[in-house]
Structure 1
């Protein structure tokens, strides 16, 4: 009888936790879509597929197959979506969630998302890798971009994507080596500082290119929102969501 009662209690607790998780996901999914995070995730999957094809052509078949298997396990799209939305639910209060959702559904928010999701598309990433076109920025616009750059988690997210992929490669290599020679798991994270040092000087010019279609007034309004409590809370939460999605 006691065992049956324990099972029933555990079952009820499991259902309650499952229901809570589903409700949290339902609460955060509108923001997840409106802010462009869902589209960024799709773009990541497209870039990942391109990398897989490149590895398949360059690596021995056994190594490429192992890397593909590990990649499929770690970066399964639906699980990444779920981890990101659950992270938003944990890191944003109801008020912050509502404020961020309202911002990204506004005309300005939609213009921002259009610029940011275009920037992470595979075609645009390829263009930027070939070098940014020269931009002539007014002193006022450059100052606004500097303000925005201090709030946006662009460097953090760039690091997380790079290190997640490096970590995956390290894990796959260790599996293939069979314990004969182990590559330290923390080796990839040692490059965090150098990655940031490489990206940071290019950030103002990169942001200038990403937001090139926003007017000075729109860019200034976005910088203003980024400095509000709600804006800062959302950027912290989105950075955590990206990290949780990439690192199960």
Structure 2
């Protein structure tokens, strides 16, 4: 009987440790970041409530709910992380370490609703030693922060374009809306890049120079590059970049 209970316990706990991709998705803070994005989206919607005609505002809300449904976002993002990251073990090991958990905690704090509101007018300027500035420079090149930030902005803008197209059929037809958004990608990345070093200095302000160096070493390593490339693909998939709201309705995603 004890042996049977032990086997049953093994089967009950197997998914928790057998699926490294699922573990990595959770340990690296993806579900919490998606929740923070939902909070920021809700706040943005409320800012538009009094400035848009009721019908346009409702279309914006409906399209946002369709595109950014939490469960669907998580499913798309995790599926692409799984598809694009052949070996999740090195990244999982890193983010399960004390430093990795500290990094995730810092990133989650920076994107919390109250912190975004606090820094709505811009982040404070962070002074840094030459050594720390050099380490941050390495991180800025290794992390896909420019690309990820641009995709978030384009995804939200895409919902607005979809909503406008629904209210005024033919105004932005034939892929014109998506073409306009794609044309903004490089400009957005340049804007983000202009202040990226200071942003990273602020987000990772509680990491020591030694911890920053270890983080940069991971991000620049083959395993780190593989993770962050897969992470960017997962972000794009979660945000449904390049997909119209109508196509998401058709696929059920």
TM bucket by the smaller chain? Answer: 0.7 to 0.9
CA contact (8 A) 2:20 2:89 kept: no
| Aligned twin of 1:107 | 98
- Report deviation, 1:129: 2.8
- Report deviation, 1:209: 0.5
Aligned length: 223
- Report deviation, 1:164: 0.6
RMSD over equivalenced CA pairs, Å: 1.7
| Aligned twin of 1:187 | 180
Name the SS for the 1:83 alignment partner.
helix
- Report deviation, 1:189: 1.5
**Aligned with residue 219 of structure 1, among 209, 212, 219:** 212
Which 5+ residue runs of structure 2 have no aligned equivalent? Answer: 1-14, 244-253
**Aligned with residue 235 of structure 2, among 242, 245, 248:** 242
Name the SS for the 1:70 alignment partner.
helix
| Aligned twin of 1:42 | 35
| Aligned twin of 1:136 | 127
| Aligned twin of 1:149 | 140
Deviations 1:166-220, CA, capped at 9 Å, x for gaps: 11111110110023x2362211121111111211110111100110000111111
Counterpart CA distance in 2 for 1:207 and 1:245 is 23
| Aligned twin of 1:10 | none
Deviations 1:7-53, CA, capped at 9 Å, x for gaps: xxxxxxxxxxxxxxx99x95422111111111110100000111122
2:74 equivalent to 1:81:
yes
Counterpart CA distance in 2 for 1:196 and 1:154 is 9
**Aligned with residue 52 of structure 2, among 50, 53, 59:** 59
Deviations 1:103-136, CA, capped at 9 Å, x for gaps: 1010010011011111111222223332222322
2:149 equivalent to 1:158:
yes
CA contact (8 A) 2:20 2:92 kept: no
| Aligned twin of 1:201 | 194
Whose helix fraction is larger, Structure 1's or Structure 2's? 1
- Report deviation, 1:240: 0.5
CA contact (8 A) 1:27 1:89 kept: no
Counterpart CA distance in 1 for 2:78 and 2:31 is 10
Name the SS for the 2:88 alignment partner.
helix
Counterpart CA distance in 1 for 2:95 and 2:203 is 17
| Aligned twin of 1:126 | 117
Structure 1 runs of 4+ with >6 Å offset? none
Name the SS for the 1:130 alignment partner.
coil
Counterpart CA distance in 2 for 1:89 and 1:56 is 38
Name the SS for the 1:58 alignment partner.
coil
